[in-house]
């Protein structure tokens, strides 16, 4: 696969002051009023074209009495590519919008011309990197891809229950998903002949042909759900805790009468995060263990990749948000267990442009595995060559990262992960915002 990728995110923002800033102690001035960080989003690859746009995060600290905790956080991201991919995202979080209640709203519209799709149930689905080779008559870098448009709207509310460390959670969500095969006319538009993707039948189309994905689901659909559960939170800080617990258990109910038709289901989610101080104000160990799985009903295949929490829904088991280093969506099933172990070191603190900064380095190990299989035989009656009878096992990725943190909350993150099994890919570089958990 011939693929050119370059990402230029960390430009201008820190260049003018990194070399003139001086190291300070951990006791820093309190921040009041508004603070914000912004980055350009510039990238290019053969399949998506040139990406352009911006992201920004605004924080309001009021009179500073809550610092480093913010009163309101508003996140905006807008980006496009010359071949039709787009991210449109507004995310809002505040414990003050509704008195004594933490309110979180997420509005996102994604257009993805080449979303990763490797099949179901982890290692049960064979990943053959040679099938992504355009020099082969039966290969194409689009073989493990599909086209998806997603409108996602969620709202979550947390309120004190019994004690300050305990909260109940309620919420709602709507996912409008449109699925189709890769549009090779778009992918190959403006590409030199030698760099064009071979127009072959993709894995997604094979799954539809063999009725692994049934006809009534192949184009996607709408899903409405309600959420409810409990949270136990003793973190000393939200953005990068040095100590404390953050555990949650909740149910996601998507019954048919909400408009989900014949594909209503009930899903359970449990996540436990534990933060340990190893060297005060310098070195910490952050762990996360999670599980989500279908309890009953029929879950559409296009609702499987999402990672749910009380704070924000994320996309894809594998890649930037779960197992760094392995391919996005490599781990896909009706039940998934996952874990992350990360050593974080606050290497240096300084003040610049009237703000507090620190630089943190990290080393991590991540895993995920399918614990509840999607039944690939439920709609088909003939065997297919690209599915085995293997049970899944942990998919591991490991690597290092660096984070540049402004006013304790705006965090530029760069992580590089390596897959430990060639069935999961090779490696990945991830540039974005915030610690993983």
Which of 298, 286, 304, 308 has the alpha carbon at shortest distance from 229? 308
Is residue 410 predicted with pLDDT exceeding 60? Answer: yes
In angstroms, the CA 107 to CA 30 distance is 31
Asked if residue 68 has a cis previous peptide bond (ω within 30° of 0), the answer is: yes
Is residue 3 predicted with pLDDT exceeding 80? Answer: no
370: which residues sit within 8 A by CB, 6+ positions away? 120, 121, 122, 124, 331, 332, 333, 335, 336, 392
In angstroms, the CA 180 to CA 115 distance is 11
pLDDT tens string 224-278: 999 999 999 999 998 999 999 999 999 999 999 998 888 899 999 999 999 999 9
Q: Are the C-beta atoms of residues 197 and 140 closer than 8 Å to each other?
A: yes
What is the pLDDT at residue 25? 41
What is the pLDDT at residue 42? 67
Winning range, highest mean pLDDT, from 190-199, 228-237, 315-324: 228-237
Domains of the chain: 82-433 (2.40.160)
Q: What is the mean pLDDT of residues 151-163?
A: 93
Which residue has 């359970």 as its token pair? Answer: 268
Is residue 13 predicted with pLDDT exceeding 80? Answer: no
* CA torsion through residues 19, 20, 24, 28, sign: negative
In angstroms, the CA 321 to CA 329 distance is 11
Q: What is the mean pLDDT of residues 50-72?
A: 89
In angstroms, the CA 400 to CA 417 distance is 7
Which of 326, 309, 241 has the alpha carbon at shortest distance from 281? 241
């Amino acid at each position: 696969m011939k693929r050119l990728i370059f990402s230029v995110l960390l430009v201008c923002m820190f260049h003018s002051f990194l070399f003139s800033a001086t190291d300070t102690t951990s006791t820093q001035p309190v921040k009041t009023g508004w603070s914000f960080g912004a980055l350009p989003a510039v990238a290019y690859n053969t399949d998506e074209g040139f990406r352009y746009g911006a992201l920004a995060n605004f924080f309001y600290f009021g009179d500073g009495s809550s610092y480093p905790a913010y009163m309101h956080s508003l996140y905006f991201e807008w980006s496009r590519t010359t071949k039709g991919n787009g991210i449109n995202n507004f995310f809002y979080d505040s414990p003050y919008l509704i008195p004594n209640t933490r309110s979180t709203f997420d509005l996102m519209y994604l257009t993805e011309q080449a979303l990763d799709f490797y099949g179901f149930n982890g290692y049960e689905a064979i990943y053959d990197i040679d099938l992504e080779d355009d020099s082969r008559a039966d290969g194409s870098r689009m073989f493990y891809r599909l086209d998806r448009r997603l409108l996602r709207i969620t709202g979550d509310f947390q309120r004190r229950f019994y004690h300050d460390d305990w909260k109940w959670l309620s919420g709602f969500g709507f996912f409008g998903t449109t699925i189709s095969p890769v549009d090779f006319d778009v992918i190959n538009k403006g590409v030199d002949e030698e760099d064009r993707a071979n127009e072959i039948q993709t894995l997604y189309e094979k799954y539809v042909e063999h009725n692994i994905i049934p006809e009534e689901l192949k184009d996607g659909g709408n899903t409405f759900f309600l959420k409810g559960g409990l949270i136990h939170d003793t973190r000393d800080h939200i953005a990068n805790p040095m100590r404390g617990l953050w555990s949650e258990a909740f149910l996601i109910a998507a019954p048919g009468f909400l408009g989900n038709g014949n594909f209503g289901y009930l899903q359970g989610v449990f996540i436990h995060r534990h933060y340990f101080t190893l060297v005060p104000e310098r070195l910490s160990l952050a762990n996360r263990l999670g599980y989500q799985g279908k309890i009953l009903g029929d879950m559409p295949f296009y609702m499987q990749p999402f990672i749910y929490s009380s704070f924000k829904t994320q996309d894809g088991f594998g890649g930037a948000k779960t197992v760094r280093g392995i391919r996005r969506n490599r781990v896909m099933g009706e039940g998934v267990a996952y874990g992350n172990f990360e050593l974080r070191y606050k290497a240096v603190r300084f003040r610049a442009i009237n703000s507090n900064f620190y630089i943190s380095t990290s080393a991590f190990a991540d895993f995920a595995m399918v614990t509840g299989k999607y039944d690939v035989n439920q709609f088909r009656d003939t065997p297919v060559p690209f599915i085995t009878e293997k049970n899944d096992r942990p998919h591991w990725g490991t690597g290092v990262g660096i984070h540049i943190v402004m006013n304790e909350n705006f965090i530029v993150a760069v992580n590089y992960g390596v897959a430990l099994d060639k069935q999961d890919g090779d490696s990945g570089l991830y540039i974005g915002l915030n610690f993983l958990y």
